[in-house]
Structure 1
């Protein structure tokens, strides 16, 4: 074996050792090992699931709160065609002037964040810490025109950022 080859093997060996040392130090000094575990939160605060769900995992109830009949059915079908789990379609007596209202509990934070993108961030959020289920109520208002396209949803999700736990709750993720 020539001297140049031995020197190259020594250099590559030294680089491998240095890389291994960096990896071990990074793992030991990792300060995010408990991220998403809600440490430091008061015991009585609800744990808000801030995992951004896939459409097929999001359960919704669609309610018409407009003066136009049949809007909930149309929007419900639109959501079904986009692979959402539409549980109930109904009318609500009280009309709202905005685009939509999303009502949800601690288990529906990530789902509500995704749904908000379908209204381009213009849906009003109503968080209820007492709510036990992971279903989000989508209440359609008089300002609603149509759901966003896939491209618009992706852009809106980028604008909205990551889901955030509502005040008075602790963020947790349900990563598998």
Structure 2
């Protein structure tokens, strides 16, 4: 055997031993013993669907009129229908809303609510309820509402908002699109 082959085998052997030592040290010094396994959820947390919907048809909205202006909920509901959202019959809100809007939703509608925030240029107050069931997002229109954002404004607002955030007391549900 030539000297070059012996030298190559020695180098490969040293690299293999170094790799084994590195892996053993990494496993022994691992400090993530309390980490939650992928797809797991800490005790007391609920799974929240934080995936942005691909199409407006995947989002269901119920609009409430939180102002003294008659017919406002009907008008906004029609605007959402024209933008291909699923809508429920509009209603009157129990109390008046001072801001642009108030959005109420639960864990199954986190991604949908994130998208809808962009239609209000992130000026709607959000009220997440971890005990709420269903994918419907309730929107109470307030006295400062003027109109829904255009598609360009929605896209710009979504860029500013970034990826949907997991609400406090929740963890991200497994991605259904990967299944």
TM-score (norm 1): 0.76
In the alignment, what sits opposite 2:115? 114
The Cα offsets for residues 89-110 of structure 1, whole Å up to 9 and x where unpaired, read as: 1011300110001100000000
1:5-44 to structure 2, matched below 5 A, reads: 39-44=39-44
Q: Which has the larger radius of gyration?
A: 2
C-alpha deviation, 1:58, in angstroms = 0.0
Deviation at 1:43, TM superposition (A): 3.5
Which ranges of structure 2 fall in alignment gaps of 5 or more residues? 1-36
The within-5 A match list for 1:55-74 is: 55-74=56-75
Give 5+ residue unaligned stretches, structure 1.
1-36
| Distance change (3 Å), C-alpha of 1:38 and 1:107 | farther
1:88 is aligned to 2:56: no
**Post-superposition offset of 1:38:** 5.6
Q: TM-score, normalised by structure 2?
A: 0.75
C-alpha separation in 1, matches of 2:38 and 2:146: 38
4+ aligned runs moved over 6 Å, structure 1: none
State the partner residue of 1:139. Answer: 140
RMSD of aligned Cα (Å)? 1.3
Conservation of the 8 A alpha-carbon contact between 1:97 and 1:143: yes
Match of 1:174 in 2: 176
